[in-house]
Amino acid sequence: MDGDHRRLAAPALAGTGDELRNRGMFFSSITVPRVALLAARFEAEPLRVIVVISVALVLWSLALTTPTALRGGNPLAIDLAVHAAVIAVVIGLAVFPGCQLWLAVVLFTLAFGVSLLVQAALVPGYLPDNAAQLIAAGYVLNLAIGTLAGLAGRFVLWRLMESAGRRSAEVAMAITVTAAYAAFAPPLALWFVTAMVDPSPPGAFGDVLGLSEHAAAAMMRGYRGALACGVVLFIFLDPPVRRDLVCAARLLPVFLLLAVLSLAGVSLHPALDVTVAAICISLLFPVKASILASAIGIPLYAGLTGAMVDLSPPANAQGAILEIYSVIALALLLMVLVLRFRSRQRILMQRETMSRLFRIQDFAQIGLFVVDVAQGQIQLDPTGRKLLGVAVSACPLGALRRRLHPGDLRQLTEVMRVAGPEPRSLTLRFQRDPLGAPGDYAFIKLFVWYEVVAGGRTYAYGLLLDTTTDMRRECELRRVLAELSDRQGRQTQMFSIISHELRTPAAIMSMLIDEVDSGTPWPEAAPRLRSVTEQLLSILADMRQAVRPEENLPIRWETFSPQMLAETVRNTFALMADPRGIEITLQMPAEAAAQRVTDKVRLNQALSNLVKNAIIHSGCDRIVISYSERLEGEEGLSGVWTVSDNGCGIPAEEVPTLFQPFSRTVRGSRSAADGTGLGLFVVKSAAESLGGRLEFLETLRGATFRLILPLALPYETSPTPPRSGPHDFRNMRVLLVEDNPMVGEITCLRLGKMFKSVTWARNGSEGLLRAAAERPDVIITDLFMPELGGDEMIAELRRRRVNVPIIGLTAAMVGEDSRRLERAGADAILEKPVSQAQMSEILSAVIAARARQVRPAEQEQLREAAAE
């Protein structure tokens, strides 16, 4: 990277230290404070914690008072001015749980009393005549000092706990306790000595501080007590572990060696020497071990040498100044420990933060990488190796390039070659498994930053994120949206076609009615009207087969003659072909006259659509229908129908979409032809439903379609169970529920020819009343009606245990109408208009099915229950 890039990269790195520190404290809100741990220990093992703290504080007091007593001791007033036991009150009020604050006073009283008893026993004449008064005043004085310092620390702790970070608040609390102790103890001690004992001579401190010997000793004791309290408080805030205890034990010989040298006279100043040594230890060794070593080593040194605790007046002014320096050095020791303790807390917080971040990163599958741009080496963390399928943490970048999608190589090379100050992101297709299937790529998104280190070397580093699932979901979403868009377009096209196709026969029917009104004889108009009506119904049937193929009529196997079927198709379309000058010819072999078995209706529909398409679209003058038979392995006998024309043919580019529904491609003379675009689709669907297939054959001229269907011989077993025989409906009563007056009248006339009686209800509510009053044998109902729909009426009848056959009527071919009727409880669905043949067939099937499900003895019971 050149100089410009270095200058551009520099601002991006500015403030990184502060940012890292802030990020390191990000999880401070969930960090458990040491005070809370101490409270938890109190709650879990109260007796054990109380005993340990009691023993520790009593030993601390004895360690600071017993050595002095063995050497003759200080005056009682000096020992009472700032007693070693006051630390129990300070620490107790600062860190003990609220319910355990009483323990601070108890521990102070215990340590205070035990130390006085030991000193009285070891020092003859230690208790003066006014000892009781001095002890009472000293007890109150020390209790007041400890209470003021402890409560100040507790206030700061809970005040700053949420705003400054929990562990930072604990450090602030330790400093506050020390400062409060140092602020209250010396003046109160000075007042106590001055008020309770006779003034002593000025001594060496008189020349330096202007104080008497006892007053100066009390003040020095107060300052040392405050600093010692701060050191001990850190032990309570962050209790040492085994490793710290071992390290502190290894440091204690240093204090013993200093004590031996001091007793041998090799010393500058005893108090100053040990404090400087403690400062050096705190700078060189772990902070927790240093605090523990100082808290044990300094009292041990003091007990052996008498320094700091044996307050004999200094010999001269130089000794007094060194004594003051020792207190300053002790304050410096505390400052060093505070700074190192705070630094350690920050490091711990940052480690905890990084540990949580790594845990989140691994769970979220976010990898890390570093690239040496000049060397072309990449380093990956464990998550990154897992994402890329790499076994080692460092490898050449070229080894990964070989597993990239070829289209992404240039993108990666460009990013690694042109480093800049701004972070960049890119998505690469990466083959994680080099032995996997070709093309099985994972989508890996890279977030890349750049940095120039000392020596001008450029590094790229950042994150790896596996977005394969998201990308596949996005691709699937795009596919679904495209499919929905295409479906919506097809629906729009379908409704446009339906509108156009239905309008034509409807207009013709209207014109034929006008012709009849103007005097045209009915025998002449009737065939034309029937032809138009059949054309309309054929269009609707094609629509249903295209949109709802699962709702087609069931397959019906019938015996037929291929020869006669072909002649029927030819004769049907002769009236359409002759005016256009088209000749329809047949090529039938001898076997075409034999009887065969298939679904005659579907076969007739398929051949009719093929012939009609040729007439309308091909522009031909000759259509040939041919037939042959052949054996196809295990499939048995198949009939092969071929419909060919000599018209304009079909362009090669249109062949792939030839059998798709609503395909009305404009081509040549076909541009002016009408049609739904469903003809070939219907033929293909009919062939497949019968186990056959439809093929388009390429020819030099025109178009040829081959329809292959499996056939059965008449004496073979029928593929489906035979239909039930005809039933006699002349004694049955029918309830018709229909809101359209014209449809109702015509349907009643047709049903009246089949049934004993027909009752007509105009809506669902009336139908319920009629059903309860007349107890019909069959109910026939429309779906959409005012007041109460057909499906709602059926559901109510079934709820009332009306168990007679119910047949639903619908004129909608492409909706959910039939499903609504079936869900409500209809036995069968019929499409309008209703013919006698359809009604007879459907009702016979329903009665037969009910007979198989319900025994005859139970039918009368159900009828009676329905009547009730």
Angle 92-94-95 (CA atoms, 0-180°, nearest 5)?
75
The mean per-residue pLDDT over the stretch 67-90 comes to 77
466, 486, 516 - which closes a domain:
466
Higher-confidence residue of 575 and 564: namely: 564
d(CA 239, CA 631): 95
- The confidence score (pLDDT) of residue 866 equals 41
What ranges make up the beta strands (E) of 554-636? 558-560, 583-587, 596-598, 622-631
Residue 600 Cα distances to 680, 753, 831, angstroms: 18, 28, 20
727 is a domain residue: no
pLDDT mean across residues, the chain: 78
Burial of 76 (0-12, 13-18, 19+ CB in 10 A): buried
pLDDT at 3 over 60: no
**For 460, phi and psi rounded to 5 degrees?**
-110, 135
- The confidence score (pLDDT) of residue 35 equals 63
- Over residues 379-404, the pLDDT tens digits come to 998 888 888 888 888 888 888 888 88
C-alpha dihedral (353, 356, 357, 363), degrees to nearest 10: 180
pLDDT at 868 over 80: no
- Bond preceding residue 589 cis, omega within 30 of 0: no
- The confidence score (pLDDT) of residue 312 equals 65
Residue in 107, 18, 19 with CA at minimum distance from that of residue 56? 107
**How long a stretch of residues is the chain?**
868
State the pLDDT confidence band at 24, using cuts at 50, 70 and 90. low
Angle 407-411-412 (CA atoms, 0-180°, nearest 5)?
110
Question: Do 740 and 852 fall into the same domain?
Answer: yes
Q: Are the beta carbons of 248 and 292 closer than 8 angstroms?
A: yes
* 831 alpha-carbon distance from chain centroid: 48
- The confidence score (pLDDT) of residue 498 equals 63
Neighbouring C-beta atoms of residue 43, cutoff 10 Å: 12
- The confidence score (pLDDT) of residue 9 equals 41
The mean per-residue pLDDT over the stretch 5-34 comes to 51
Angle between helices 213-237 and 34-44 (to 10 degrees): 80
Question: Do 310 and 394 fall into the same domain?
Answer: no
What sign results for the dihedral spanned by CA atoms 333, 338, 340, 344?
positive
Question: Do 182 and 290 fall into the same domain?
Answer: yes
- Over residues 226-277, the pLDDT tens digits come to 888 888 888 877 778 889 899 999 999 999 999 899 888 888 888 888 889 9
**Residues of the chain above pLDDT 70, percent:** 78
State the pLDDT confidence band at 190, using cuts at 50, 70 and 90. confident
Give the residues across from 770 on adjacent strands. Answer: none
Question: Do 207 and 318 fall into the same domain?
Answer: yes
d(CA 5, CA 152): 54
- Over residues 609-658, the pLDDT tens digits come to 888 888 888 889 999 999 999 887 666 788 999 999 998 888 888 887 77
The mean per-residue pLDDT over the stretch 287-312 comes to 81
Secondary structure percentages of the chain, helix, strand, coil, to 5: 60, 15, 25
Question: Do 544 and 561 fall into the same domain?
Answer: no
CA atoms within 13 A on the CB side of 216: 24
Report helix, strand or coil for 452: strand
**For 450, phi and psi rounded to 5 degrees?**
-125, 150
Higher-confidence residue of 170 and 758: namely: 758
Pairing mode of beta strands 757-761, 733-737: parallel
Q: What is the full DSSP assignment across 742-787?
A: HHHHHHHHHHHTTSSEEEEESSHHHHHHHHHHH--SEEEEES--SS
Lowest mean pLDDT among 57-71, 449-463, 645-659, 836-850: 57-71
224 is a domain residue: yes
Q: Are the beta carbons of 115 and 65 closer than 8 angstroms?
A: yes
Lowest mean pLDDT among 28-32, 55-59, 439-443, 729-733: 28-32
Question: Do 94 and 196 fall into the same domain?
Answer: yes
- Name the DSSP letter for residue 634: G
513, 533, 551 - which closes a domain:
551
d(CA 169, CA 171): 5
CATH of the domain at 667: 3.30.565.10
- The confidence score (pLDDT) of residue 600 equals 83
- Over residues 471-529, the pLDDT tens digits come to 888 888 888 888 888 877 767 766 665 665 566 567 667 766 777 777 778 777 777 67
pLDDT at 783 over 90: no
Give the residues across from 596 on adjacent strands. Answer: 560
- Domain total in the chain: 5
* Type of residue numbered 858: E
Residue in 422, 287, 393, 401 with CA at minimum distance from that of residue 348? 287
What ranges make up the beta strands (E) of 112-199? none
d(CA 3, CA 8): 9
Residue in 853, 570, 595, 541 with CA at minimum distance from that of residue 712? 595
* Type of residue numbered 130: N
Q: Are the beta carbons of 349 and 24 closer than 8 angstroms?
A: yes
CATH of the domain at 442: 3.30.450.20
pLDDT at 662 over 80: no
Lowest mean pLDDT among 40-54, 65-79, 624-638: 65-79
Residue in 625, 610, 606 with CA at minimum distance from that of residue 686? 606
522, 551, 580 - which closes a domain:
551
What sign results for the dihedral spanned by CA atoms 50, 51, 57, 61?
positive
**For 629, phi and psi rounded to 5 degrees?**
-130, 150
Element (DSSP H or E) covering residue 719: none
571 is a domain residue: yes
Question: Do 83 and 185 fall into the same domain?
Answer: yes
- Name the DSSP letter for residue 393: S
State the pLDDT confidence band at 863, using cuts at 50, 70 and 90. very low
- The confidence score (pLDDT) of residue 727 equals 66
86 is a domain residue: yes
Question: Which range in 27-31, 168-172, 682-686 is most confidently predicted, on average pLDDT?
Answer: 682-686
- The confidence score (pLDDT) of residue 206 equals 53
1 is a domain residue: no
Q: Domain range for residue 502?
A: 477-551
Separation of first and last alpha carbons in the chain? 96
Question: Do 444 and 409 fall into the same domain?
Answer: yes
Give the residues across from 450 on adjacent strands. Answer: 460
- The confidence score (pLDDT) of residue 705 equals 92
Question: Do 542 and 606 fall into the same domain?
Answer: no
- The confidence score (pLDDT) of residue 641 equals 92
810 is a domain residue: yes
Question: Do 147 and 206 fall into the same domain?
Answer: yes
- Name the DSSP letter for residue 313: P
State the pLDDT confidence band at 716, using cuts at 50, 70 and 90. very low
**Tokens 């409704």 sit at which residue?**
495
- Name the DSSP letter for residue 72: T
858 is a domain residue: yes
- The confidence score (pLDDT) of residue 2 equals 42
Q: Are the beta carbons of 767 and 735 closer than 8 angstroms?
A: yes
Q: Are the beta carbons of 797 and 819 closer than 8 angstroms?
A: no
Instruction: Tokens for 453, please give them.
Output: 């280190």
d(CA 689, CA 551): 12
Q: Are the beta carbons of 308 and 224 closer than 8 angstroms?
A: yes
Q: What is the full DSSP assignment across 469-486?
A: HHHHHHHHHHHHHHHHHH
Higher-confidence residue of 634 and 105: namely: 105
State the pLDDT confidence band at 770, using cuts at 50, 70 and 90. very high
Higher-confidence residue of 193 and 648: namely: 648
What sign results for the dihedral spanned by CA atoms 736, 738, 743, 745?
positive
Question: Which range in 181-190, 453-462, 474-483 is most confidently predicted, on average pLDDT?
Answer: 474-483
235 is a domain residue: yes
- The confidence score (pLDDT) of residue 586 equals 92
Question: Do 664 and 614 fall into the same domain?
Answer: yes
The mean per-residue pLDDT over the stretch 412-432 comes to 80
Angle 414-416-422 (CA atoms, 0-180°, nearest 5)?
95
State the pLDDT confidence band at 314, using cuts at 50, 70 and 90. low
Burial of 818 (0-12, 13-18, 19+ CB in 10 A): buried
Residues with Cβ within 8 Å of residue 751, at least 6 apart in sequence: 734, 736, 758, 780, 834, 839
Instruction: Tokens for 554, please give them.
Output: 């069931």
CATH of the domain at 790: 3.40.50.2300
d(CA 802, CA 865): 7
The full 3-state SS of 795-858, as one line of letters, equals HHHHHCCCCCCEEEEECCCCCCHHHHHHHHCCCEEEECCCCHHHHHHHHHHHHHHHHHHCCHHH
Instruction: Tokens for 702, please give them.
Output: 């025109």
Question: Do 557 and 507 fall into the same domain?
Answer: no
